[in-house]
Chain A
Amino acid sequence: MPNSQMTPGIVPARLEKGAYEDNFSDLHPGYASHEALVAADRCYFCHDAPCTTACPTDIDIPMFIRQIQAGMPDEAAKTILSQNILGGMCARVCPTETLCEEVCVRETAEGKPVEIGRLQRFATDNLMSHADQPFVRAASTGKKIAVVGAGPAGLSCAHRLATHGHDVDMFDGRDKAGGLNEFGIAAYKSTNDFAAREVEWLMSIGGISLSYSKRLGENLDLATLQGDYDAVFLSIGLSGVNALRADGEDKNGVRDAVDFIADLRQADEFRDLPVGRNVVVIGGGMTAVDAAVQSKLLGADSVTISYRRTRDKMGASGFEQDLAAVHGVRILENTQPKRVLGNGKCEGIELEYTSDDGSGLKGTGEVVTLPADQIFKAIGQTLGDTPEGLKLEGRKIAVNDNGATSVNGVWAGGDCATGGDDLTVTAVAEGRDAAEDINKSLMG
């Protein structure tokens, strides 16, 4: 008998064959040309525009929208890409509802912002559909820079260094570049292999090499890199995952949400991916929502997000929370995991209600038990081991405003470094700015 949503355990093929294509189609499909013109016309071309101020990469948003209005989407794309070379991916994954679109004056006026993210996608998709990345490498400087980690920060840094004429060797621990763009974003936000295509497109500037399966502390070490290169940029992300600290979290069926999301992104057939009938996701960020919604899309019968505080404290934006709700994911606030139930493999989870009277979050003693064949941990990632000598701050590599670390000749950016939110767009900004600082220090 074929599997269904009701089949117990963690099994593949819970849905009809055709369902997966629909379920994992583009969350925000691109605009057709006329739609883009209508959407662009809503922009007021604000003076000193709040959207630009809110953008971590400072894209001149009113200008690129005006260029779309004027029938020049490629020029619009150049305006975007000159600030943010991963403007295509950011158009897909940026939480615009808490950045540019949140401060759009039309949000203030009528609760309906200019759809900046979709307009950005229209422009960048248009350019990428028929042209190489539009920047030209400066004459070679003979300088060599090592970039460790080919995620958004590393890619952005490498591209900007290449435009200045430097040679860049990029190293990544996996067998594919892109970092979280490739492995850490819900499949419906990056369809048709966009992340990989964008990396290839970005690399077409030339002067950037890419080596896989290279990890700092395993087969790379900072001291050697410092000796071999004129500068080093670390964009190693967060490789550790926080523990649940609940009894029985080692049972089969308890898994890191980031691994589940990575499997989804690399899957050839969504139907082959197993998922539980009853899924519980622990956490309150984007990763929790991505794991929960995609569990549902794979055919899980019931999916619950357990978050230890109230919804307004969740890292996931209101839009993401609504997305979860629309897909039938239940968000259980003020609960924390107490015990994973089951004999060897997990069968349920005991959650304890929490309260916070101002003196810190405490369990109330009251518990609720949910059936769970599969539990995803999405309670944050942590920096893995770092080379000796690098000063840390909190649980990140300490950097100054230009991305320079405490070690001379070493810069860092993206999720592994201090400063800004852990967002793709922030990583792009940090990589770009570090590249400018590296260029300045090398070229005097």
Chain B
Amino acid sequence: MADLRSNFAGIKSTNPFWLASAPPTDKEYNVRRAFEAGWGGVVWKTLGSEGPPVVNVNGPRYGAIFGADRRLLGLNNIELITDRPLQQNLREIKAVKKDYPDRAVVVSLMVPCEEEAWKAILPVVEETGADGIELNFGCPHGMAERGMGAAVGQVPEYIEMVTRWCKQNTRMPVIVKLTPNITNIVHPAEAALRGGADAVSLINTINSITSVNLDAMCPEPMIDGKGTHGGYCGPAVKPIAMNMVAEIARHGETANLPISAIGGVTTWRDAAEFMALGAGNVQVCTAVMTYGFRIIEEMTAGLSAWMDEKGYSSTDDFSGKAVPNVTDWQYLNLNHVTKARIDQDACISCGRCYAACEDTSHQAITMSEDRVFDVDDSECVACNLCVNVCPVEGCITMETLEPGAMDERTNTPVSPDYGNWTQHPNNPSATAAE
């Protein structure tokens, strides 16, 4: 049986599934329920400085997009950091940590970009017995206008500076949470590393408008006739988050920086994929906000069963295993030739592959009078669109042509050699293959 215990940047937890800093971790009541349900850790919803707490809107805070049957695919929010008094949060954190010593309790922080502010809050957090802190440099709304959250996260120099302040003023591990609302995720990650961060976590939410009320002519969620951009999360953002995780994991300087992956983790499989791309653990929010805490049972059981099947005894065994296979386009093997193949027994003759290929791609699928669909190898560029639009899983697949086989599209035999763009004759700056 696989061992799911996790040690992330020195923070131990019973499994690699943490709850992300968000409404589910805003108070003791929720966090106790989460731990009872089996969550390995939480990142407590972001605390601010001592003083009057922030205020939230009193209208809707969330907007969503849905798939069929109202399956929630993407959620955005305009909620701010905790609106409860600092001392109350600290008391609750301390009580919870005391009762659940084997779970990770990390505290998310966001205070003004001044060293004094950080110096003030770090000791009181440390005093709770929390396992670490997460610097919220990502929150894209409300706090950014006050010079915090994403306003810091979008400026690598600020990230480095604040991270350094924290490292100098606490013994707790420091996780820097990154905003995706930037051009290149590697730059803020490098800044965090320079500042001495123990780890990064990403992604925070993405600036978004989920829908527009066409009667009121206003973005949703609508507050008294006005809307604002919110932070987007949930299954829809997972591909974006995975790319950013992979970019940090395969980048020379940041390659060894522990990553806590966030962004649309909904089932065990999402966690496995993020961890394969270099994450040490994952944080979950939208999935529990949609289905409740009990989903952790599926996640731990699924991950454990998959690890057993693959022979992985701990999460370290597979964490980062896909990273060497993430490369730049220019290194992809241009001599690798595949062709679409349609399994006629599985085909239900819907013709979607035909419509897609004929209307929008390469006219490489033929249709007979009695609705038999075939691939014309002389036109097929193996784009995979037919595979993606086919409603029957496994019906259309890509067959690899063996070296020496004729590619009917190019009328050349498939080369046995690896050949990429850097070596290609059409590339003006190509280097010789030898």
Which chain A residues have a beta carbon within 8 Å of chain B's beta carbons?
Answer: 34, 37-38, 41, 44-50, 105-106, 108-109
Contacts and interface: CB of A to CB of B under 8 A. Distances in A.
Interface in B354-410: 354-355, 367, 371, 391-392
Nearest to B365: A47
Contact of A46 (B68, B69, B352): B352
Nearest to A47: B351
Contacts of B392: 109
Contacts of A109: 348, 391-392
Contact of A45 (B68, B70, B352): B352
Nearest to A107: B348
A38 B69 contact: yes
Size bin of chain B's contact surface: 10 to 19
Interface of B: 68-70, 348-352, 354-355, 367, 371, 391-392
A354 to B, nearest CB: 37
B358 to A, nearest CB: 8
Contact of B349 (A37, A38, A41, A108): A108
Contacts of A105: 348-350, 391
Nearest to B395: A109
20 contacts: A37-B68, A38-B68, A44-B350, A44-B352, A46-B349, A46-B351, A47-B350, A47-B351, A47-B352, A47-B354, A47-B355, A47-B367, A49-B351, A105-B348, A105-B349, A105-B350, A105-B391, A106-B348, A109-B391, A109-B392
Contacts of A34: 70
A298 B265 CA distance: 57
B428 to A, nearest CB: 42
A41 B68 contact: yes
B69 A41 contact: yes
A46 B355 CA distance: 8
A177 B348 CA distance: 43
Lowest 5 A-B CB distances belong to which pairs? Answer: A47-B351, A41-B68, A47-B355, A105-B348, A105-B350
Contacts of A106: 348
Contacts of A46: 349-352
B394 to A, nearest CB: 12
Contacts of B391: 44, 105, 109
A50 B69 contact: no
B143 to A, nearest CB: 36
A48 B348 contact: no
Nearest to B389: A44
B67 to A, nearest CB: 8
A47 B354 CA distance: 7
Contacts of B69: 37-38, 41
A304 B351 CA distance: 44
Given A44-B350, A105-B391, A109-B391, 14 more contacts: A34-B70, A38-B69, A41-B68, A44-B391, A46-B350, A46-B352, A47-B352, A47-B367, A48-B367, A48-B371, A50-B349, A50-B371, A106-B348, A109-B348
A38, A50, A109 — most chain B CB neighbours (10 Å): A109
Nearest to A108: B348
A108 B350 CA distance: 10
A49 B371 CA distance: 10
B350 to A, nearest CB: 4
A49 B367 CA distance: 13
A98 B371 CA distance: 19
Contacts of A38: 68-69
Contacts of A45: 352
A189 B350 CA distance: 31
Nearest to A106: B348
A42 to B, nearest CB: 8
A224 to B, nearest CB: 49
Nearest to B69: A38
B348 to A, nearest CB: 4
Given A109-B391, A109-B392, A48 B68 contact: no
B364 to A, nearest CB: 15
A11 B391 CA distance: 55
Nearest to A110: B348
Nearest to B349: A105
Given A109-B391, A109-B392, A48 B70 contact: no
Contacts of B349: 46, 50, 105, 108
